[in-house]
Structure 1
Amino acid sequence: MQNSFNLALLAPEIILAVVALAVLIIDASGKSETRRLTFGLSIATLLLLTAVSAVQWSNGAQGEAFSGLFVTDSLSHFLKILSYIAVAVTLIYGRSYVEQRDMVARGGEYYTLALLALLGQMVMISAGNLITIYLGLELMSLALYAMVALRRDDVQATEAAMKYFVLGSLASGVLLYGMSMIYGATGDLSLEGISLAISTGNLERLPLVFGVVFIVSGLAFKLAAAPFHMWAPDVYQGAPTAVTLVVGAAPKIAAFAIALRLLVDGLHGLAMDWQPMLLVLAVASLVIGNLAAIAQSNFKRMLAYSTISHMGFVFLGMMAGVVDGSTEGAGTAYGASLFYVIIYVLTTLSTFGLILLLSRKGFECENLTDLKGLNRRNPVLAGILLLSMFSLAGIPPLAGFYAKLVVLQALISAGYVWVAVVAVIFSLIGAFYYLRVVKMAYFDEPEGEAIPGGSGALANGVMSVNGLLVIGLGILPGGLMALCISVIENSLSF
């Protein structure tokens, strides 16, 4: 499998690229304002990709293509399958929303751009070289910038797209500058070559450390960690909710993937330098995210600050991998971070999915007051909202509790007891704004018109499965956690 041009390893990417262009052409010649053919073709493609990646994984397909630019391993198969599922669920939840707001009436760019953004995420997940990382990152980012601005008649969405584009371009430049410094110090662009060069100990240390600083800053922006979080609240609130879910779910998997590839695979020899940086980012994210979320009255903006706090937990797991030069607990620590990202994406799909299902033409279910009395109007969706909020707050026996627990265990095992205490304190503070949402849904009197009960059988069915997974992965988390640790240990070198 080490053939330099082994295109079989790129089968999912090739299929998606061809279908995305086909969807664009078919959509241009179609006259349906609902774009049902485009939607159906997109979902069918994601199901096909899931099957292809699953078969490749089960058959042990792994190796490099294009002289190490592209890497296929257990981690890439696993994360790609998760990305396919996340994008498919996103499109199902958002279908009614985009149709009612004429976002697909003039053209189905929503679906095409979502597929192209997914293609960029897949390239990021399988990147084995600095060039491939940047290529995938820009492909994903450019598609997301365009998606945020899809409603050209919406001033708020246009403003959010402009902020996202400007700050995103700046962050990409910072990341690229850090990569250039790493290349200048090591003379290699491949992650494996960079790791080997650093392990020799004969390199100039100053440019390496500066390069790491810029790379960590760029990654923090993509993961919406404080203090590089400025774009997240405005983009989450300003973008159409169907686009907010595209931005907030699957891209986090890809951003976490390049963080693993860069920091663990390529720069693990500098762990003593980047781990303290992650510590600062994690604590800042926990403090700023949880405190700022309390003051929000807009549900989407509150969830944006919630995201910032959760990225703090992801970084806490990553910074516990190396202790005094020992990597004994690295697999468990990095596996805990991966598990946390998966649970975060799962709950993000349910929370923003609820907003999409509760919205209707002429009404955006965005403010917290819009959720008042939800239990009386729709007990099923209110129950899923309760499960999602309790999971995000870390209340047992839901998935979010176990996700926080394994990260805290990794921290304590690494000797960061005081950091674990800080994380618990701010998690308790954060529970306030989650419980406030539940209180409004169950104990406040309804306001305004009755909220509709969903957007069709398919979306309601997927939402029910989403809610059950939040419970199921909290009660029986062992299988998924073991899988996370396994793919980390089998795919990354540390």
Structure 2
Amino acid sequence: MLTRLPIMLLAYPEIFLLAAGCAILVIDPFLKDARRWVSYALSLAALLGCAVLTTIVTGMTGGQLATTFNGMFVSDMMASTLKMFTYIVVALCLVYSRVYMAERGLYRGEYFALALFATLGMMVMISANHFLTLYLGLELMSLCLYSLVALNRDSAVSSEAAMKYFVLGAIMSMIYGVTGTLEITEVARGAARVLQGDHPSKTVLAFGLVFVVSGLAFKVGVVPFHMWIPDVYHGAPSAVTLFISTGPKLAAFAMAIRLLVNALQPLSGDTPQFPSGWQDMLVVLSLLSMAIGNLAAIAQSNIKRMLAYSTISHMGFMLLGLLSGIVGGNALSAAEAWSSAMFYAVVYVLMSLGSFGMVVFLSRAGFEAERIEDFRGLNARSPWFAFIMLLLMFSLAGIPPTVGFYAKLSVLQAVLGAGHVWLALVAVLFALVGT
């Protein structure tokens, strides 16, 4: 059931976080170094306040689909769940990175403000029900992440920015030209109308679909749009890598659901009207990502680059859950498949949080625990850290009985349920390579 609520009610968490970020920017210049903890505490309090407001909004809507701002902003159970995990992940990132950033002279108000504004962008992306809203959230998040990456050293992310601007502009132009709307739910209806009969705009719609999938692939970081991930993960300060490897993945997953499932489900493929669609594209992207991600990770000596390539393979595995939701144009089993993909995304983000968090914990002033050889003798120095790192690596590899194994198992069950037996076998093979 679709409910339209009074304007701004659903966006109270976003408005609150915006106000908190602006307050930190105003207050921090007047704080001495010894009182920088005030900005830190305000950031954590802001995230807690967002969690409370999101809980209240979810209670008011009953977890049902509700929209505001003329249908451009949506609240549903998926949005609420992903937002809550985003708050948790961002808060832990700030906690983990406190000592690291202080030792390097980066414990400043702009770090906390940028982190909060990036989180705001993620929240807008998660609740976007319109291409312009999605664009706004993506730009806010991306520009803040670029600034965070450049806090301490230069970063080569300009190619991603240029590609993103081009792709998103092409997406909106082509899809608006064919369907006459940028509202995601209306785009789905417009696409379905175009597919009826021999409509002359089918080709334009197909090109728009290619740009949609390309833009998603760039943001998620799957092959062949993955080259920025190892460089950015390696080049950024470890605390920033911790941040950009976690929360943005949840926002990217939400963007994939909103675009492919809510807007472009008629273009999924495997139907007489559109025999080859985004499902086939995701199959290719998924297989390439699992193959190259796992094989390249084995050859790395830098743990941040190794985890970066591991991210590529994990995102490829997550795509399997997305593409398994529709069989022959039928979405009867979609909820189970897409739930498995969301479960996998959340589990991956938590494991990535733990893995990069260990890198941050073990680093100190003048020493970055980035090379695999830096972890030599960890068991002798700190048995508990060594044990936790072992569990995290086992979970990332999907070894039972860790939660990573059950995440992989849920996705494989969805793939088998969709009848893609060969795809499940190939995924298992690549998972074995990754161990």
TM range (shorter): over 0.9
Q: Say whether residues 1:72 and 2:75 are aligned partners.
A: yes
Q: Say whether residues 1:356 and 2:366 are aligned partners.
A: no
Shift of 1:321: 1.0
Letter in 1 for 2:180: G
**Number of the residue aligned with 1:129:** 130
Q: Say whether residues 1:184 and 2:185 are aligned partners.
A: no
In structure 2, what is the Cα distance between the partners aligned to 1:169 and 1:142?
12
**Number of the residue aligned with 2:192:** 199
In structure 2, what is the Cα distance between the partners aligned to 1:34 and 1:287?
49
Letter in 2 for 1:179: M
* 72, 75, 93: which one aligns with 1:90: 93
Provide TM-score, normalisation by structure 1. Answer: 0.83
Change (3 A) 1:284 1:108: same
- Secondary structure of residue in 1 paired with 2:114: helix
Kindly provide the CA deviation profile for residues 393-441 of structure 1, in whole angstroms up to 9, marking residues without a partner as x.
111111100111111111111111111111111111111xxxxxxxxxx
- Secondary structure of residue in 2 paired with 1:64: strand
**Number of the residue aligned with 1:488:** none
CA contact (8 A) 1:175 1:219 kept: no
Shift of 1:5: 5.2
**Number of the residue aligned with 2:336:** 332
Shift of 1:168: 2.6
**Number of the residue aligned with 2:116:** 115
In structure 1, what is the Cα distance between the partners aligned to 2:165 and 2:412?
31
- Secondary structure of residue in 2 paired with 1:362: coil
Kindly provide the CA deviation profile for residues 315-352 of structure 1, in whole angstroms up to 9, marking residues without a partner as x.
11111111112212111111111000000001001000
In structure 1, what is the Cα distance between the partners aligned to 2:180 and 2:13?
31
Shift of 1:52: 1.4
Alignment of 1:119-268 (within 5 A): 119-151=120-152, 157-158=153-154, 161=155, 163-200=156-193, 201-202=195-196, 203=199, 204-268=201-265
CA contact (8 A) 2:266 2:329 kept: no
In structure 1, what is the Cα distance between the partners aligned to 2:34 and 2:295?
43
**Number of the residue aligned with 1:476:** none
Shift of 1:56: 1.9
In structure 1, what is the Cα distance between the partners aligned to 2:434 and 2:164?
28
**Number of the residue aligned with 2:274:** none
In structure 2, what is the Cα distance between the partners aligned to 1:28 and 1:312?
43
CA contact (8 A) 1:321 1:334 kept: yes
Equivalences, count: 421
Shift of 1:182: 1.0
In structure 2, what is the Cα distance between the partners aligned to 1:34 and 1:261?
42
In structure 2, what is the Cα distance between the partners aligned to 1:238 and 1:39?
24
**Number of the residue aligned with 1:99:** 102
The percentage of aligned residue pairs carrying the same residue is 49
Kindly provide the CA deviation profile for residues 148-205 of structure 1, in whole angstroms up to 9, marking residues without a partner as x.
0001xxxxx30xx2x2133233123213312221111101110111111122234521
**Number of the residue aligned with 2:272:** none
In structure 2, what is the Cα distance between the partners aligned to 1:124 and 1:33?
36
Shift of 1:60: 2.4
CA contact (8 A) 2:103 2:365 kept: yes
CA contact (8 A) 1:175 1:214 kept: yes
Alignment of 1:2-81 (within 5 A): 6-32=7-33, 35-60=36-61, 62-81=65-84
Letter in 2 for 1:20: G
Q: Say whether residues 1:397 and 2:398 are aligned partners.
A: no
Shift of 1:250: 0.2
In structure 2, what is the Cα distance between the partners aligned to 1:88 and 1:180?
37
- Secondary structure of residue in 2 paired with 1:297: coil
Alignment of 1:363-402 (within 5 A): 363-402=367-406
**Number of the residue aligned with 2:294:** 290
Question: Which moved further from structure 2: 55-64 or 66-75?
Answer: 55-64
In structure 2, what is the Cα distance between the partners aligned to 1:371 and 1:34?
34
Kindly provide the CA deviation profile for residues 266-311 of structure 1, in whole angstroms up to 9, marking residues without a partner as x.
0001111000000000000001100111110000000000000000
- Secondary structure of residue in 2 paired with 1:86: helix
CA contact (8 A) 2:93 2:243 kept: yes
- Secondary structure of residue in 1 paired with 2:67: strand
CA contact (8 A) 1:4 1:67 kept: no
In structure 1, what is the Cα distance between the partners aligned to 2:239 and 2:288?
29
Letter in 1 for 2:90: V
In structure 1, what is the Cα distance between the partners aligned to 2:7 and 2:41?
31
Shift of 1:260: 0.2
Q: Say whether residues 1:422 and 2:426 are aligned partners.
A: yes
**Number of the residue aligned with 2:345:** 341
CA contact (8 A) 1:97 1:242 kept: yes
In structure 2, what is the Cα distance between the partners aligned to 1:346 and 1:58?
26
- Secondary structure of residue in 2 paired with 1:85: helix
**Number of the residue aligned with 1:275:** 279
Q: Say whether residues 1:305 and 2:306 are aligned partners.
A: no
Letter in 1 for 2:178: A
Q: Say whether residues 1:410 and 2:414 are aligned partners.
A: yes
In structure 2, what is the Cα distance between the partners aligned to 1:58 and 1:373?
50
